Structure 1
Amino acid sequence: MGYRVAVIGATGNVGREVLNILSERNFPADEVVALASSRSTGREISFGDKTLKVKNLADYDFTGTDFAIMSAGGSTAKEWAPKIAAQGCLVIDNSSYFRYHSDVPLVVPEVNAHVLDAFMADPKRSNIIANPNCSTAQLVVALKPLHDVAKLKRIVVSTYQSVSGSGKDAMDELWNQTKGIFVNDKPSPEKFPKQIAFNVIPHIDVFMEDGYTKEEWKVLAETKKILDPKIKVTCTAVRVPVFVGHAEAVNMEFENPITPDEARDALREAPGIAVLDKREAGGYATPVDCVGDYETYVSRIREDVTVENGLVMWVVSDNLRKGAALNTIQIAETLIERGLMDKRAA
């Protein structure tokens, strides 16, 4: 049986990746529809060896559609996701709007796919499933196998996030500033609060009253919701002049002893992870290495000598893939593989 899939926000960075990955993974779809706002209606967009003509979200009838994959921002999700879900379509939303709603599961399939069973068995379900923040997704994939072995107590994470996490305009700003500096043009920040070319900015999203940014708060709240609410988490989120690929330095404290070798073995056996950890020059993953890949890369696994039962690791992933587009498709694939789509009429 094939499924009907609507990709909302199809002309954006993540929407285009959704279409690419649906094609790459041979998702069992009989029909894929590209949707966006009225200003993009009629544009042509690639889907494998086909070309799709973008349709207007406001005019589309979702009756009979199985999955709506939304990558169009929080305001669009707030307005449209409940309307689409009310037509019996499962909405998998990439925005932050629904992530903290108690009736909406926040899912990374390698970590907490089991929550989908109860969700789909509930006749009063919202029909909306949330995709986590890009930094959270790769983080919890790497943390889960270690948590299973030694039980995490505390995590300190510093993220080094590429500009693609802020969209196409942000990527253009990095490109234009970089070119301009070489011809002595003074950078003019628009998308970022300061110059991003040849710089790092310890500020992503808005500041909150406690001094954390909202991006940092997302990592805290989402890690707890997905993995374990008892884990203590603190985060510093930094924007770096990289086009694609987020990196994270992660310090972990466990309840039980765990050695770097034990951690390495657990990670190698876990789904969605590639361990690249040679203690030599170049024996680690960088954002450039992960672009276009599905895996989350883990490197630099070593003891944290400042705490009992402590480890440190370096985590890298393509934020447009595992951090967004890939994870949404994996959620849909998991629903199919677990036979949960048959329960929609329950």
Structure 2
Amino acid sequence: MGYKVAVVGATGNVGREMLNILDERKFPADEVVALASRKSVGQECSYGDKTLKVKALDHYDFSDVDICLMSAGGTVSKEWSPKIAAQGAVVIDNSSAWRMDPDVPLIVPEVNAHALEGFAKKNIIANPNCSTAQLVVALKPLHDKAKIKRVVVATYQSVSGAGKEAMDELFSQTKSVFTLDEVTTKKFPKRIAFNVIPQIDVFMEDGYTKEEWKMMMETKKILDPKIKLTATCVRVPVFVGHSEAVNIEFENPISDEEAREILRSAPGCLVIDKREPGGYATPYEAAGEDATYISRIRTDPTVEHGIEMWVVSDNLRKGAALNTIQIAESLINRKLLQAKKKAA
């Protein structure tokens, strides 16, 4: 029995990646539909060796859809996710619109797949922020072993996290630098080419940005409300792949060797940690890969039980499209979702 899957926002970076990953992972779909706004109607999207014509979201009947993968931004999701869910499709949303709703599970399958049980309250499941997703994959096995008290994280986030326009801006600015043309800024508050910007999303009253707040709140919801976390989120001139320098303070003793061995056998983690030049992962190697790469694992001697590490992942995959599809797979594997109609 196969499922009918709708991808909303199919023409965006993450939507296209969702279609690629559905095909790559041989997701049990009998039918896949590409949806977007009216201005994108008729555009073509690749799904394996097939070409899908984009249809309009606002005219689509979801009554026979089993799973809707939503990647069209928070405003669209706020309006449409409840309507789609009311027609019986399970919505797995990639925006921030539903993440902190107490009736909506916020899921990273390697970390808290058990929380899927409550999805039927609204028929909506939230995908976390890209920087949170890779972080909690690395934190979960260590938390199980030695109980995390506090995390300090500095992120180095690629421009693809801000969408296609942001990628275009990095490309055009870099080109302008080399051709001695004027560097123009539209998407970012400052020039991004050959620069770093210590602001992602808007500033809040306490001085943190919304992105930093998301990391704090989402980590608590997914992993443990008792964990204290502080973050500084920085945009860097990298096209794909988020990196994080992570400092963890534990309640119980844990050595760097123990941490390394635990992470080597943890789901979704890949340890690349040789203490030599180049013996670590960078965003370049992580791009196009599913794993969360962990390097530079070492003891922090300034606290009683401290570990430092470097965490890298493809933000369009584990941070968005891949995690969304893994959620759908978890629903099926846990027998929480039946297809509405049997394949002919």
TM-score above 0.5, yes or no: yes
Separation in structure 2 between the aligned mates of residue 201 and residue 184 of structure 1, nearest angstrom: 22
1:240 aligns with 2:236: yes
For 2:156, the equivalent position in structure 1 comes to: 160
Separation in structure 2 between the aligned mates of residue 115 and residue 25 of structure 1, nearest angstrom: 23
TM-score, reference length from structure 1: 0.97
1:4 aligns with 2:4: yes
For 1:105, the equivalent position in structure 2 comes to: 105
For 1:91, the equivalent position in structure 2 comes to: 91
**Unpaired runs of 5+ in structure 1?**
none
Partner of residue 228 from structure 1, selected from 221, 224, 227? 224
Q: Deviations 1:249-298 (Å, cap 9, x if unpaired)? A: 00000000000110011101111110000000000000000011000000
Equivalent position amino acid for 1:179 in 2: K
Equivalent position amino acid for 1:101 in 2: D
Displacement after TM superposition at 1:300 (Å): 0.2
Separation in structure 1 between the aligned mates of residue 44 and residue 302 of structure 2, nearest angstrom: 55
- SS of 2:7's partner is strand
Separation in structure 1 between the aligned mates of residue 116 and residue 239 of structure 2, nearest angstrom: 33
Q: CA RMSD in A?
A: 1.0
- SS of 1:341's partner is coil
For 2:167, the equivalent position in structure 1 comes to: 171
| Mapping for residues 45-60 of structure 1, pairs under 5 Å | 45-60=45-60
Displacement after TM superposition at 1:188 (Å): 1.2
Q: Deviations 1:178-226 (Å, cap 9, x if unpaired)? A: 0001111121111000010000000000000000000000000000000
| Mapping for residues 9-20 of structure 1, pairs under 5 Å | 9-20=9-20
**Unpaired runs of 5+ in structure 2?**
none
Separation in structure 2 between the aligned mates of residue 327 and residue 258 of structure 1, nearest angstrom: 29
- Identity over aligned pairs, percent: 72
| Mapping for residues 1-346 of structure 1, pairs under 5 Å | 1-117=1-117, 119-120=118-119, 125-342=121-338
Equivalent position amino acid for 1:185 in 2: D
Equivalent position amino acid for 1:195 in 2: R
Q: Which runs of 4+ in 1 moved over 6 A?
A: none
Displacement after TM superposition at 1:342 (Å): 4.0
Separation in structure 1 between the aligned mates of residue 181 and residue 301 of structure 2, nearest angstrom: 46
Separation in structure 1 between the aligned mates of residue 169 and residue 288 of structure 2, nearest angstrom: 22
Displacement after TM superposition at 1:115 (Å): 0.6
Equivalent position amino acid for 2:200 in 1: I
- SS of 2:324's partner is helix
- SS of 1:138's partner is helix
Work out whether residues 244 and 311 of structure 2, in 8 Å CA contact, stay in contact via their aligned partners in 1. Answer: yes
Displacement after TM superposition at 1:75 (Å): 0.4
Separation in structure 2 between the aligned mates of residue 44 and residue 155 of structure 1, nearest angstrom: 43
Count how many residue pairs are aligned between Structure 1 and Structure 2. 340
- SS of 1:113's partner is helix
- SS of 1:114's partner is helix
Separation in structure 1 between the aligned mates of residue 116 and residue 214 of structure 2, nearest angstrom: 21
Separation in structure 2 between the aligned mates of residue 45 and residue 32 of structure 1, nearest angstrom: 11
Separation in structure 2 between the aligned mates of residue 4 and residue 116 of structure 1, nearest angstrom: 20
Displacement after TM superposition at 1:343 (Å): 10
Separation in structure 1 between the aligned mates of residue 123 and residue 335 of structure 2, nearest angstrom: 16
TM-score, reference length from structure 2: 0.98
Work out whether residues 66 and 339 of structure 2, in 8 Å CA contact, stay in contact via their aligned partners in 1. Answer: no
Work out whether residues 95 and 126 of structure 2, in 8 Å CA contact, stay in contact via their aligned partners in 1. Answer: yes
Separation in structure 2 between the aligned mates of residue 112 and residue 224 of structure 1, nearest angstrom: 12
- SS of 1:68's partner is strand
Separation in structure 2 between the aligned mates of residue 308 and residue 188 of structure 1, nearest angstrom: 48
Work out whether residues 3 and 339 of structure 2, in 8 Å CA contact, stay in contact via their aligned partners in 1. Answer: no
- SS of 2:11's partner is coil
Work out whether residues 148 and 249 of structure 2, in 8 Å CA contact, stay in contact via their aligned partners in 1. Answer: yes
Q: Deviations 1:45-84 (Å, cap 9, x if unpaired)? A: 1100000000000010001111000000000000100000
Equivalent position amino acid for 2:100 in 1: Y
Separation in structure 2 between the aligned mates of residue 65 and residue 98 of structure 1, nearest angstrom: 20
Q: Tell me: CA distance 1:63–1:146, structure 2 relative to 1, closer, same or farther (3 Å).
A: same
Q: Deviations 1:129-160 (Å, cap 9, x if unpaired)? A: 00000000000000000000000000000000
Separation in structure 1 between the aligned mates of residue 90 and residue 139 of structure 2, nearest angstrom: 28
